[in-house]
Amino acid sequence: MTPADAETAQCRPAGRVRAPARRQRGFTLMELMVTVAVLAIVFAVGVPGFQNVLQNNRVAANTNDLVTALNLARSEASRRGARVTVCSSENGNACDANPAWGSGWIVMVTDRPDDPPLRAWSGMRGDPAFSNQPPVRITYNPRGGLDEPTAGMNFTLSPQGCRGENARRISITPAGRPASRRVACP
């Protein structure tokens, strides 16, 4: 035993050896309960607002897809010098007899119905509803205007359980120009 060890041994009471103090790790039960309670409150407040954002984004995406199809049909009619149609289509190859736009639509050259469609879109996301159903077909003439220009067309797309201004109105002028805007739910 060295002199330093002898001095240390004299300072300690005999028979008692103290373990070095350990640093506490982890969380107490109270800390975990408070954290879980705070998370529950955040989710209770945040989830309904997030659902509204999701509905709004789905309707906006569906509207943008439909306006894109209308713009494509209009430009292709002018470019090709032929009538081009946008119509509802479940199979993505031919127009349907009923206006089931929620299941998808295609853009096709009207004068060549045996040719494959120029482009096809699959069904709409989020199962939206039309308040005034678009016609079975929307056809553009070779000048890019509506083939049967009436006073134009308007139809509204809204999500299930729509609240506030989460609906979108698609308007087509007699000249064939499509546009969309946000409107109050029907």
The residue ranges of every structural domain in the chain are 60-183
Taking residues 44-73, report their average pLDDT.
85
Provide the β-strand partners of residue 171.
154, 179
- Write the pLDDT tens digit of every residue in 88-133: 888 888 888 877 788 888 999 988 878 899 999 887 777 777 776 7
Tell me the CATH number for domain 60-183. 3.55.40.10
∠ CA 151-156-159, rounded to 5°? 175
C-alpha span between 136 and 10 (Å, rounded): 101
DSSP conformational letter for 102: G
Which of the two residues, 54 and 12, has the higher pLDDT score?
Answer: 54
Instruction: Return the pLDDT at 8.
Output: 54
C-alpha span between 129 and 102 (Å, rounded): 8
Instruction: Return the pLDDT at 52.
Output: 77
pTM of the model: 0.72
Instruction: Return the pLDDT at 148.
Output: 77
C-alpha span between 30 and 18 (Å, rounded): 29
Q: Could you tell me the sign of the dihedral formed by the alpha carbons of 174, 175, 178, 179, in that order? A: negative
Q: How many CB atoms lie within 10 A of CB 70?
A: 24
